[in-house]
């Protein structure tokens, strides 16, 4: 693992790192904030999955999470959103919603994407192992959160591994990718035309099939331009109500899809995670 930068912040260390990934077959970059802690102490981990077009840098520079993580004693990890490099295929039309920067947190089975687009394995298996080897991380106390495409990833991963992740939350998530254009393009392109293969990567479908977590927290801006067409939180609300899955869905007047929105509610989400990680 190569250290690209380390900066002191709120008594802890914000680092950016790069390593050769066996999951993606490429170099991958990620960021980790480690709060102040006693020597030998291990700390709970919050995973943050970013949205379309993002890298680790978006939340690292704009997320305003470090003060809360320092106060709450949380390690904060931000992976990239896809493999990258000249050998990695992207969208043939150069669109932003597929390919580079748009891995959708799945393991692709369709060519030419299957060799590199294995973000599910990267996030759930490879990067946690690396984190435990190099940082004071307690993998018995993990939680997961994300934004937009990353909210989709956080929900589906959290619902798939409910014993591993003690808390699951999201900002403006894509809750039912099988039923919106962003998701249909991505899941079809990475996983093929058989929609049955898409179900494990659709939070609404997972809940309808019986997946459960203790509770979910979602913040959604009412001024989000993607709300009606791509995000559709009402579908998650309906599925949770029908299944008896506890959900707190907070519609926030005037807020959009940006990091101004995310940073406003970040500390509240982290406190919610901390209560469940330490409780």
Options 148, 169, 201, 269, the catalytic residue: 148
The C-alpha atoms of residue 58 and residue 63 are separated, in whole angstroms, by: 7
Closest CA to 154 of 138, 176, 169: 169
Return the H-helix or E-strand segment holding 120: helix 119-121
Catalytic residue status for 224: yes
Under 8 Å between Cβ of 47 and 105: no
Options 147, 257, 269, 273, the catalytic residue: 257
Under 8 Å between Cβ of 146 and 42: no
Options 97, 202, 219, 224, the catalytic residue: 224
Tell me the CA end-to-end span of the chain in Å, nearest whole number.
33
Q: How many CB atoms lie within 10 A of CB 22?
A: 11
Instruction: Please state the separation of Cα 189 from the chain's center in Å.
Output: 20
Strand-pair partners of 17: 3, 30
Strand-by-strand arrangement of the 137-147 sheet? 2-9, 12-20, 27-34, 75-78, 43-49, 137-147, 165-171, 216-221, 247-252
The C-alpha atoms of residue 203 and residue 193 are separated, in whole angstroms, by: 19
The C-alpha atoms of residue 91 and residue 223 are separated, in whole angstroms, by: 29
The C-alpha atoms of residue 122 and residue 86 are separated, in whole angstroms, by: 19
**Which amino acids are annotated catalytic?**
148, 224, 257
């Amino acid at each position: 693992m190569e250290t690209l930068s380390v900066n002191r912040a709120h008594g802890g260390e914000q680092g950016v790192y790069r390593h050769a990934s066996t999951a993606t077959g490429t170099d991958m970059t990620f960021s980790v904030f480690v709060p102040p802690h006693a020597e030998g102490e291990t700390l709970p981990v919050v995973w943050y999955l970013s949205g379309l077009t993002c890298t680790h840098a978006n939340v690292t520079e704009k997320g305003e999470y470090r003060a809360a993580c320092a106060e709450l004693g949380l390690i904060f990890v931000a992976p990239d959103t896809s493999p990258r490099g000249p050998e990695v295929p992207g969208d043939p039309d150069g669109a932003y919603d597929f390919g580079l920067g748009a891995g959708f947190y799945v393991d692709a089975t369709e060519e030419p994407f299957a060799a590199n687009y294995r973000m599910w394995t990267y996030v759930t298996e490879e990067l946690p192992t690396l984190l435990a080897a190099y940082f004071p991380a307690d993998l018995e106390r993990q939680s997961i959160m994300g934004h937009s495409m990353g909210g989709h990833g956080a929900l589906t991963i959290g619902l798939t591994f409910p014993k591993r992740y003690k808390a699951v939350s999201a900002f403006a998530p894509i809750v039912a990718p099988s039923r919106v254009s962003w998701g249909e393009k991505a899941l079809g392109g990475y996983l093929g035309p058989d929609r049955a293969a898409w179900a494990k990567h659709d939070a609404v479908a997972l809940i309808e099939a019986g997946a459960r977590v203790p509770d979910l927290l979602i913040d959604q801006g009412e001024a989000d331009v993607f709300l009606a067409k791509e995000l559709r939180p009402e579908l998650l609300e309906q599925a949770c109500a029908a299944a008896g899955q506890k959900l707190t869905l907070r519609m926030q007047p005037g807020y959009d899809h940006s990091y101004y929105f995310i940073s406003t509610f970040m500390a509240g989400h982290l406190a919610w995670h901390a209560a469940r990680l330490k409780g």
